[in-house]
Amino acid sequence: MGEYVLTPDADHPLDEIASTLVDEINNGAKSIIISGHTDIQSFVGVPPAESNQRNWELSQKRATSVAKALSKRGIPITRMITTGYGYSQPVAYGHSEVAWAKNRRVEIEVE
């Protein structure tokens, strides 16, 4: 629980995403919004308010990790905006590993 470091498995998808984003920028895209998200699970032994804060920080770290990886692939850092949402925008509800896994994500939006 609580991971934000990209694994080598992310290299190929990030290469493809960066290529697409370069095309978008060349076609007039102004900004790339990178949003990090977490699941609803609390950190063990931590009060709820602190757990919520940690999840928010974790979601921001996830977004920042992706932004750094994209920057290394040629996306100008000045075009990227990172945001962490914690658990405030789930895509799956429930208390199962499947739901939790779907909510631990990073989304990229082009404007």
Residue 45, sorted as left (phi over 0), alpha (psi -120 to 50) or beta, turns out to be: left
Return mean pLDDT, the chain: 97
Alpha carbon distances (Å) from 108 to 33, 45, 46, 82: 6, 33, 30, 9
72 located within any domain: yes
Report the pLDDT averaged over residues 56-68: 98
100 located within any domain: no
Report the pLDDT averaged over residues 44-49: 94
Residues in contact with 97: Cβ distance below 8 Å, sequence separation at least 6, in sequence order:
none
**Cα 106 to Cα 83: distance, rounded to the nearest angstrom:** 10
> How many domains, the chain?
1
97 located within any domain: no
Torsions phi, psi of 43, nearest 5?
-75, 135
46 located within any domain: yes
40 located within any domain: yes
With tokens 């931590």, the residue in question is 46
90 located within any domain: no
Residue 1 has pLDDT above 80, yes or no: no
Of 53, 102, 56, which is closest to residue 64 (Cα–Cα)? 56
Task: For residue 28, give its domain range.
Answer: 8-80
Residue 2 or residue 65, greater confidence: 65
86 located within any domain: no
Supply the pTM of this predicted model. Answer: 0.94
33 located within any domain: yes
Report the pLDDT averaged over residues 38-63: 96
